Amino acid sequence: MTATECSGPSDLRVFYWKGVAVAAVAAYIELNPVRAGLCADPKDYRYCGYAEALAKGCPLARQGIRTILGQPETSSWNELSSQYRKLLFIKGSCQSPNKAPAFDLL
């Protein structure tokens, strides 16, 4: 199983596996609690990998975010968390035909 690397939003590298953008799927999953009204920010939902990486500093969760973003081991956690948060907010502010935006950027 190999993934292909493509340029993505805000200069993030996005990996595609079998034609599916891995970063987009990850953002969708992280934003589900926001859309459901369980929290206002994905970092506040205790059962999400993003919160696990931020609050607990879980190495496995942080490695998952590194993999999703396609960043090298030399990237700092501050860089990764900033890039991932940007991705979440970009994806979360988008509306599609079958779903409303998770939140406004304003």
Q: Which one has a higher pLDDT value, 18 or 51?
A: 51
pLDDT tens digits, one per residue of 49-100: 888 888 888 888 898 888 888 889 999 999 999 999 888 888 887 777 777 7
Question: Is the pTM above the cut of 0.95?
Answer: no
- φ, ψ for residue 22 (rounded to 5)? -60, -40
Closest CA to 5 of 26, 21, 28, 25: 21
pLDDT value of position 74: 93
Domain extent listing, the chain? 4-92
Average pLDDT rounded to a whole number, residues 19-37: 79
- What percent of the chain is modeled with pLDDT above 70? 76
Q: Which pairing describes strands 20-21 and 4-7: parallel, antiparallel, or unpaired?
A: unpaired
